[in-house]
Chains A and B, each alone.
Chain A
Amino acid sequence: MADTAVKTHREPLFHVVKRDDMPWWKAWAIRAATIVIAFFIVGLLSAAVTEKSFGETYSVMFSGVFGRLFEGRTTMLWKYLQEIAILLCLALALTPAFKMKFWNCGAEGQALMGGLAPIVCMIELGPKLPYPVLIAVIAITSIIAGAIWGVIPAIFKAWFNTNETLFTLMMNYIATQIIAYYVYLKGGGSNVINPVEYGNFPAVGNNNYFINIVVVAVITVIMYIYLKYSKQGYEISVVGESQNTARYIGINVKKVIIRTMVISGALCGVTGMLLVAGTDHSININSVGGQGFTAILMSWLGQFNPFIMVIMTALVVFLRIGVSKVADTALLNSSFSEIMVGLVILLLVGCEFFINYSIKFKHSKKEARV
């Protein structure tokens, strides 16, 4: 009997302890190291799959993203910045909601509805209204459309505590079907609408994406200030930490939830507008192309800080374009880049463990007895 008693008190080899005292530079060193390791793994896997040399895959990746930048050609760079802008705008839109612990998985649908409004304006009102009025109408309607799509789940969350993750998810598919309906209606039975010439954002200095990029840059700064220095931003973080605390200090939780989701949906709507009026001049069910989900990951990896989000989106878009290029040159399917993006994000998610927790190995027996 004595033997078994001793055995049951076997200590585990190590145990995990929470820590919150890691200095910020150390945390960022871990994240940076993870990114370096992740890039190394991506290069290794790409090289293995495409049967190229290790260095060659990276050079293909860089030329795929930046093109012939050093010869003074900036087309690819602008395209890169444009893709960052769109993904970043969605991530920024989601951030206030996430900070409030409202899992808005509906960026896809909100952006699609925000894109539907401009295309309707461009087709129906385009020939009738003068250009500046048309642009104003496009901006207002797309913001309203996105906000409506975002606020419906918020109303039910605020009053009945309806699960918002699934509600917003379902709203995506309803939006997709509405777009499919409209495209069939206007595309004359096909599933494409030809680019509309009215209500397009003007090109600045030969560059079609300039306005998109400036708009998103402005939103980034405003969002940073809003979350960090405004009263509303403070209310959002209190509601996110604890709804009971928020109620106790006199914050109207329902109002905050609804107001925040109006902002979140409206910004998604802006993204839709940038995609339709600023980029494609058309719409289809894949206009947002799953970026609404990637944006969730971006917002979280960016620690809800808009400026870190810029870095993270730049990284992910780089991988997306670069690895697609690598796969393309080897005649492989470009979904390879999706695998790599998923892998890198999983690594980054995993590395947070080493920032938030520390592993304590078993003490030697003498110490344990003390």
Chain B
Amino acid sequence: MIIQFICRAILLGVPLLYGSTGEIVTEKSGHLNLGIPGIMYVGAISGVVGSFIYENSCGNDIANMNPFLAVIIPLLCAIAGATLMGLLYSFLTVTLHANQNVTGLALTTLGIGLGNFLGASLINITKSELPSIALTKTSSFFSAKLPFADDLGWFGELFFSHDFLTYLAIVIALAVSFVLNRTRVGLNLRSVGENPATADAAGINVIKYRYLATCIGSAIAGLGGLQYVMAYASGVWSNNAFGDRGWMAIALVIFALWKPSMAIVGSFVFGALCNANNYIQGLGTETQELFKMLPYVVTIIVLIITSMRKKREHQPPANLGLNYFREER
């Protein structure tokens, strides 16, 4: 029971981990990308479209499918779709100096619309009775467990039974953490987010860093959408099912105090909180709804506590949300 609860929490937390790792990379460059929910939608639907085309080209027969291609095609599609959205955001905010909040929110509208529209179009093509597309064959490749997981009892279930995107999420988060804190590139990126004018004077290409950070961040976030469809929903896309996970990912950035390694723990805590209502005995349907607000309440409490303590290392990048224009200083 407890093992099942933890595994479920991890599964629910991974899309949030991708989203918040991506958003941390972006925010470290000084850009508050509120387009993440839309970008995650686009990542998910791009992956779905990719695997839909591949499944059809194999005649919908699992025997014809190459496991490597079945995984790599949706993966690359998700990354490409999400990166394009990130490119659009950075073109508008970095090059055209557009307001970041407004651009981000418009991008979210656009992304969710794109996801639902393409999803509905695919449902139309398959002429399915249900309002969803099932890509269970591709999903089976994605959620393949490690072969020895079942032999190790609860230990195996807890540590080795997850899909490979879960491990990839943790690896990416740790890698981002390493790059940000231990390498020159990370130092430069942080300085761009803290004080772009100083960074510029030190010879750092602010525009290049901001473009790259936004695009890489978006690509990482897009993988979160893919993981949701392929692993959590077992390859079933239905419109609006992804829900507000994008916003929760942004909240998680604050919860994690802009540290990707903290985001790993945070995302699992969030997953557990999202899921707690199903595991507490004797709750009515209406009380369950009240319990679903837990992650949001916890985020607000963390938000308040960090702002009250005013510790220097817990603050957002100093230039977060502000565009940099070289001639304006």
Mark the stretch among B141-149, B178-186, B247-255 that contacts chain A.
B247-255
Determine which of B106, B117, B244, B292 lies in contact with A346 in the assembled complex, contact meaning CB atoms within 8 Å: B106
Q: Is the interface of A mostly helix, strand, loop or mixed?
A: helix
B266, chain A: closest CB distance, angstroms: 14
Determine which of A177, A352, A356 lies in contact with B289 in the assembled complex, contact meaning CB atoms within 8 Å: A177
Mark the stretch among A33-41, A132-140, A270-278, A334-342 that contacts chain B.
A334-342
A window 131-152: CB within 8 A of B: none
What does the 1/0 interface line of A184-198 toward B look like (CB < 8 Å)? 110001000000000
Say yes or no: A336-B105 contact (C-beta < 8 A), given A170-B251, A350-B96.
no
22 contacts between A and B (CB under 8 A): A18-B325, A18-B327, A105-B101, A169-B250, A184-B286, A185-B286, A293-B108, A300-B102, A301-B102, A335-B116, A335-B117, A336-B117, A337-B113, A338-B113, A342-B106, A342-B107, A346-B92, A349-B92, A349-B98, A350-B92, A353-B97, A357-B97
Is A75 positioned at the interface, with any CB of B under 8 Å from its CB?
Answer: no
What does the 1/0 interface line of A237-279 toward B look like (CB < 8 Å)? 0000000000000000000000000000000000000000000
Is B303 positioned at the interface, with any CB of A under 8 Å from its CB?
Answer: yes
B126, chain A: closest CB distance, angstroms: 14
B292 engages A294 (CB within 8 Å): no
Complex contacts, B250 vs chain A, CB 8 Å: 166, 169
A338 engages B116 (CB within 8 Å): yes
B window 289-323: CB within 8 A of A: 289-290, 292-293, 296-297, 299-300, 303-304, 307-308, 316
B293 engages A173 (CB within 8 Å): yes
A163 engages B307 (CB within 8 Å): yes
A window 319-370: CB within 8 A of B: 331-333, 335-343, 345-346, 349-350, 352-353, 356-357
A181 engages B286 (CB within 8 Å): yes
Complex contacts, A345 vs chain B, CB 8 Å: 102, 106, 109
A252 to B285, CA, bound (A): 46
Complex contacts, A296 vs chain B, CB 8 Å: 101-102, 105
Is B103 positioned at the interface, with any CB of A under 8 Å from its CB?
Answer: yes
B120 engages A338 (CB within 8 Å): no
- Given contacts A170-B297, A339-B114, 20 further A-B pairs with CB under 8 A are A18-B325, A105-B101, A162-B308, A163-B254, A167-B300, A180-B292, A296-B102, A296-B105, A297-B106, A331-B124, A332-B120, A333-B116, A336-B113, A338-B110, A338-B117, A341-B113, A342-B38, A349-B102, A352-B98, A353-B97
B307 engages A346 (CB within 8 Å): no
Say yes or no: A173-B244 contact (C-beta < 8 A), given A346-B88, A357-B97.
yes
Say yes or no: A339-B293 contact (C-beta < 8 A), given A103-B101, A349-B102.
no
A267, chain B: closest CB distance, angstroms: 19
Q: Tell me the nearest residue of chain A to B240, going by C-beta.
A: A335
Is B4 positioned at the interface, with any CB of A under 8 Å from its CB?
Answer: no
Is B188 positioned at the interface, with any CB of A under 8 Å from its CB?
Answer: no
Is A70 positioned at the interface, with any CB of B under 8 Å from its CB?
Answer: no
B113, chain A: closest CB distance, angstroms: 3
Say yes or no: A162-B303 contact (C-beta < 8 A), given A170-B296, A341-B109.
yes
A335 to B119, CA, bound (A): 10
Say yes or no: A162-B109 contact (C-beta < 8 A), given A177-B293, A332-B121, A349-B98.
no
A163 to B300, CA, bound (A): 10
Is A17 positioned at the interface, with any CB of B under 8 Å from its CB?
Answer: yes
B211, chain A: closest CB distance, angstroms: 16
Complex contacts, B289 vs chain A, CB 8 Å: 177, 180-181, 184
B109 engages A294 (CB within 8 Å): yes
Determine which of B102, B113, B307, B316 lies in contact with A335 in the assembled complex, contact meaning CB atoms within 8 Å: B113
Q: Tell me the nearest residue of chain B to A296, going by C-beta.
A: B105
B288, chain A: closest CB distance, angstroms: 9
Say yes or no: A333-B92 contact (C-beta < 8 A), given A174-B297, A181-B286.
no
B103 engages A335 (CB within 8 Å): no
A54 to B38, CA, bound (A): 29
A330, chain B: closest CB distance, angstroms: 10
A184 to B285, CA, bound (A): 7
A170 engages B92 (CB within 8 Å): no
Is A161 positioned at the interface, with any CB of B under 8 Å from its CB?
Answer: yes
B101 engages A165 (CB within 8 Å): yes
Complex contacts, B117 vs chain A, CB 8 Å: 332-333, 335-336, 338-339
B window 108-158: CB within 8 A of A: 108-117, 119-121, 124
A177 engages B113 (CB within 8 Å): no
Q: Tell me the nearest residue of chain A to B297, going by C-beta.
A: A174
Is A160 positioned at the interface, with any CB of B under 8 Å from its CB?
Answer: yes
Complex contacts, B244 vs chain A, CB 8 Å: 173
A296 to B308, CA, bound (A): 28
A160 engages B101 (CB within 8 Å): no
Is A78 positioned at the interface, with any CB of B under 8 Å from its CB?
Answer: no
A14 to B108, CA, bound (A): 32
Complex contacts, B108 vs chain A, CB 8 Å: 293, 342
Is A224 positioned at the interface, with any CB of B under 8 Å from its CB?
Answer: no
Complex contacts, B112 vs chain A, CB 8 Å: 335, 338
Is B239 positioned at the interface, with any CB of A under 8 Å from its CB?
Answer: yes
A305 to B185, CA, bound (A): 43
Q: Tell me the nearest residue of chain B to A152, going by C-beta.
A: B300
Complex contacts, B115 vs chain A, CB 8 Å: 335
